Amino acid sequence: MACGCRVSLNELAAKIMRITKMSIAPVYEAARPGDVRDSLADISRARRELGYEPEYDLDMGLEKTVEWFAKHL
């Protein structure tokens, strides 16, 4: 999902746990070759050239995704 904002894996995990009402302790391990340390999707070109605007923010997108999986699995 690209919404033009930076979110750490810890923040993402916390958001998912809040939505699912689950609490799971993260497991931290050493970085592996090919792991992406930092990532931030720049959607400015899609906005400019395609008129793209995200329909949902990250929280709503995660809620909709969890809702979809709950219905279909």
pLDDT, tens digit, 9 for 90 and up, residues 6-51: 888 899 999 999 999 999 999 999 999 998 877 788 888 999 999 9
Does residue 56 belong to any structural domain of this protein?
Answer: yes
Token output for 14: 């916390």
Domain assignment present for residue 50? The answer is yes
Overall number of domains in the chain: 1
Residue 48 resides in a domain:
yes
Q: Alpha-carbon distance 60 to 19, whole Å?
A: 10
Tell me if 33 is assigned to some domain.
no
Asked whether residue 3 is domain-assigned, the answer is no
Q: How far is CA 6 from the centre of its chain?
A: 9
Domain membership flag for residue 4: no
* Assigned domain for 18 exists: yes
Radius of gyration of the chain (CA): 15
- Which structural domain range is residue 59 located in? 9-24+42-72
**Residue 4: is its pLDDT beyond 70?**
no
- Which residue bears the tokens 């810890």? 10
